[in-house]
Amino acid sequence: MIINFLFAAIKAGTPLLFGTTGEIMTEKSGNLNLGVEGMMFMGAFMGFFVGFHTGSLPLALLAAFIIGNFAALIYAFLTVTMMANQNVTGLTLTIFGIGFAKFFGEIMIRKAGGSPKLSPEFMITISEKPIPVLGEIPVIGKLIFSHNPLVYLSVLVAVICSIYIMKTRAGLNMRAVGENPAAADAAGIKVTRIKYLHIMLGGGICGLGGAYLSLINGGGVWNNSSVVNGQGWISVALVIFASWSPMKAIFGSLVFGAFSVLQFYAPKDIIHIPNAFYVMLPFLITTFVLIFASMRKSKTGSQPAGCGINYFREER
Amino acid sequence: MSSQSLSTKKEPFIRIIKKTEISVGKTIVLSLLALLAAIIAGGIFILAIGQNPFEIYTTIVKGAWRSSMATKGTIKIAIPLLIAALGITPAFQMKFWNIGAEGQIIMGGIFATYFALFFDHLPHGLLLVIMFVAGMVGGGLWGLIPAYFKTRFGTNETLFTLMLNYIALYMIKFFIEGPWRDPASSGFPKIATFTKNARLDQIFGVHAGWLIGLVLVVVLFIYLTFTKQGYEISVVGESVNTARYAGMNVKKIIMRTMFISGAICGIAGMTQVTGAAYTLGEGVAGGVGFTAITVAWLSKLNPLFILVVTLLFSMLEKGCSVMQSTFGLSSAVSGILQGIILFFILGFDFFTRYRFVFRKER
């Protein structure tokens, strides 16, 4: 029972981990992109569309990644080059992305004559299967080594991003841009290039999260109305919960994933809590995390100082 | 002199500098240019999916106004959008990034619903006034919470208001599944439909929300432009330090303004439950709070422009749903077109604030 619960939690947390890691990359370079929901929607559509037509998982993921790049490029151009308001641009990207996915999704449905289904071979590639040897370990084997391939990919991406941010020179430069772009500029760091790069990278990772939702959570069938359904916004919340660290996001996505499936596993006859509170809990906790972080006024584990403010070189 | 020639050599070919004041006329011209560019870009998109842009555009515009039914539908879409966009305005003018209109609309709806459900024996006029005030208080309190923590601890308001949206949304779910569940409905849990007594009256065939919206346009315009409090808002938005130096109580101004901002959004929630849906559902805000932010921003936070932009957006939404039935294209195209228009106006806005300076030849 508990193993099943945790297993479901990991599964539910994976798309959040993609979205959160993507948004962390974006915010660390000093841009708050509220378009995660839209980018995930676009990734969900492209991933499914390419997966449906080619039957290849790598191609589907690549397509989702590239459409995420493209969506983030619009955002980067408007906020970095044209210095538009970041909040409004992000929200616009969400409106645009949802419209994009639903519009082309409907065309796809019409062309397929009914809900498009992924081929059985494709379903086997993305199915849950135990890793040889490791998967046979009791408890842990089922819990950690028996997932679909995208779960491992999400953890891998988060770990790589974490190492990149904390241990490499490029990551250091990016953090400098996020904290204080004027100082970074003075030190000879190419602020504009770094912002573009990481916003687009972040968008691509968010796109992967969308692909997870349409390929795995959708059960192989494209559903126009409820593909992403707020997961992008939860990812934005999770960034706060994970205090801008991809490693903590791995744990955080597990917690949020657990909350989202808790109502199906909680012993209802012992604990009487309305279902609504289970789903509300992640947001309540995030709010408290946000408040406590601001009360402590600590520099580590809070939003990068330059986040949300456009950098205008002539005005430093 | 040698150092100067060195510096001119290093000067980039194009530089960007900030403009000082720009006239309202020029702003409008630039916005119209942006809109034109967006319409062309949207047209190219329509062409790319194999349709005739002129036909599609005329269908959208005609579809929104073709009959009195359609016109009423368009106005019904416009009402919550207009009121919520007006609500966003004072907060954004203060550079307080209130992303929480969605939640404030919901709380306004919840508070108003309480009185609609349990006090519907009161006289009609009195009940509606109470619901109106309740909606304002609900939305206002929901706006006050992040304002308090912002002034007390400097808590980031963008993220805070974003979280409150979801807490509010699941509160509706709680009331629907729990204490306010209609015992008469056997299937899906829902809240009982309001009795006639608790419904907002219609004026010219559309619920009176439109009148409330128009009155709010005028009131907010006067409040922001001609009152002391409105002036204080713009000073705080321009520079907190200036406001402090001038002896203003910045904390009080932020909290007051956020209460007002949330309260107006709460009115939008109240009109939705009592005028449009006659009940409280999870879709009471339905993304209006987010669209309202883009509307308010496009309108340069000017209440009069907000009215115009709201009508444009509602027309798009209604027109696209008509287009869906004539052309068989998904009405989701309205999201794409809205997005394109917004992208272009956001981009063109650059030219109202900055200008290019080319390197002078020597």
B206: helix, coil or strand?
A: strand
Nearest CA in chain A to B169: A280
Instruction: Report residue A45 as tokens.
Output: 């559509």
Say how far apart CA B351 and CA B340 lie, in whole Å: 18
Q: Provide the pLDDT for residue A226.
A: 67
Q: Provide the pLDDT for residue B127.
A: 92
Answer yes or no: is pLDDT of A141 > 90.
no
Q: Provide the pLDDT for residue B20.
A: 66
Mean pLDDT of B43-57: 87
Q: Provide the pLDDT for residue B100.
A: 92
Q: Provide the pLDDT for residue B1.
A: 39
pLDDT in tens, B222-234: 999 999 999 999 8
Residue-by-residue DSSP string for B60-119: HHHHHHSSHHHHHHHHHHHHHHHHHHHHHHHHHHTT----THHHHHHHHHHHHHHHHHH-
Answer yes or no: is pLDDT of B316 > 80.
yes
Give B297's contacts in chain A (Cβ within 8 Å): 85, 88
pLDDT in tens, A66-79: 999 999 999 999 99
Answer yes or no: is pLDDT of A302 > 80.
no
Answer yes or no: is pLDDT of B11 > 80.
no
- Alpha-carbon torsion A233, A237, A238, A240, what sign? positive
Q: Provide the pLDDT for residue B64.
A: 85
What residue ranges define each of the domains in chain B, with the CATH number in brackets? 14-51+330-362 (no CATH), 80-328 (1.10.3470)
Mean pLDDT of A204-229: 85
pTM for the model: 0.88
Q: Provide the pLDDT for residue B2.
A: 42
pLDDT in tens, B199-222: 887 888 778 889 999 999 999 999
Answer yes or no: is pLDDT of B5 > 80.
no
* Res. A218 pLDDT band, cuts 50 70 90: confident
Element spanning B198, H or E: none
On whether the CB atoms of residues B277 and B76 are closer than 8 A, the answer is no
Say how far apart CA B301 and CA B89 lie, in whole Å: 5
Say how far apart CA A109 and CA B338 lie, in whole Å: 23
On whether the CB atoms of residues B121 and B285 are closer than 8 A, the answer is no
Contact A280 B170 (CB under 8 A): yes
On whether the CB atoms of residues A84 and B352 are closer than 8 A, the answer is no
Give B349's contacts in chain A (Cβ within 8 Å): 82, 84
Answer yes or no: is pLDDT of B9 > 60.
no
Answer yes or no: is pLDDT of B3 > 60.
no
Residues A144-154, buried b or exposed e (16+ Cβ, 10 A)?
Answer: bbbbbebbebb
pLDDT in tens, B127-182: 999 999 999 999 999 999 999 999 998 888 888 998 899 899 999 989 988 888 88
Q: Provide the pLDDT for residue B87.
A: 96
Instruction: State the nearest Cα–Cα gap between B126 and chain A, in angstroms.
Output: 33
Of A182, A150, A125, the residue nearest A309 (C-alpha): A182
Domain ranges across chain A:
2-315
> Which residues 167-226 in chain B show a CB within 8 A of chain A?
167, 170-171, 173-174, 177-178
Answer yes or no: is pLDDT of A137 > 80.
no
B118-124 long-range CB contacts below 8 Å, 24 or more apart? B120/B194, B120/B195, B120/B197, B120/B198, B121/B197, B122/B197, B124/B197
Strands B354-358 and B14-18: antiparallel
Site from B19, B98, B170, B345 to mutate, A interface, most A CB atoms within 10 angstroms: B170
* Res. B304 pLDDT band, cuts 50 70 90: very high
Instruction: State the nearest Cα–Cα gap between B201 and chain A, in angstroms.
Output: 32
ipTM: 0.87
Residues B65-78, buried b or exposed e (16+ Cβ, 10 A)?
Answer: eeeeebbbbbbbbb
Mean pLDDT of A120-133: 78
Categorise residue A312: left if φ over 0, alpha if ψ from -120 to 50, beta otherwise. Answer: beta
Q: Provide the pLDDT for residue A129.
A: 75
Instruction: Report residue A202 as tokens.
Output: 């972040």
Mean pLDDT of B334-362: 81
Say how far apart CA B315 and CA B299 lie, in whole Å: 16
Strands B14-18 and B202-203: unpaired
Say how far apart CA A73 and CA A26 lie, in whole Å: 12
Given this structure, which CATH class describes domain A2-315?
Answer: mainly alpha
* pLDDT-above-70 percentage for chain A: 96
Chains A, B: CB contacts within 8 A come to 160
Answer yes or no: is pLDDT of B50 > 80.
yes
User: Rounded to the nearest 5°, which phi and psi values hold at B14?
Assistant: -120, 135
Mean pLDDT for chain B overall: 87
Instruction: State the nearest Cα–Cα gap between A38 and chain B, in angstroms.
Output: 11
Among B11-15, B33-37, B172-176, the minimum mean pLDDT is found in B11-15
Q: Is B16 on the interface with A (CB under 8 A)?
A: yes
pLDDT in tens, B233-288: 989 888 888 888 888 899 999 999 999 999 999 999 999 999 888 888 888 888 89
Element spanning B18, H or E: strand B14-18
- C-alpha B329, offset from chain centre: 27
On whether the CB atoms of residues B316 and B145 are closer than 8 A, the answer is no
> Which residues 211-230 in chain A show a CB within 8 A of chain B?
230
Q: Of the ranges A301-305, B291-295, B318-322, which is most confident?
A: B291-295
Element spanning B127, H or E: helix B124-153
Residues B279-298, buried b or exposed e (16+ Cβ, 10 A)?
Answer: bbeeebbeebbbbbbbbbbb
Instruction: Report residue A52 as tokens.
Output: 């449906």
Q: How far are the Cα atoms of B118, B268, B291 from residue B263, in angstroms, in the given order? A: 22, 9, 18
Element spanning B274, H or E: none
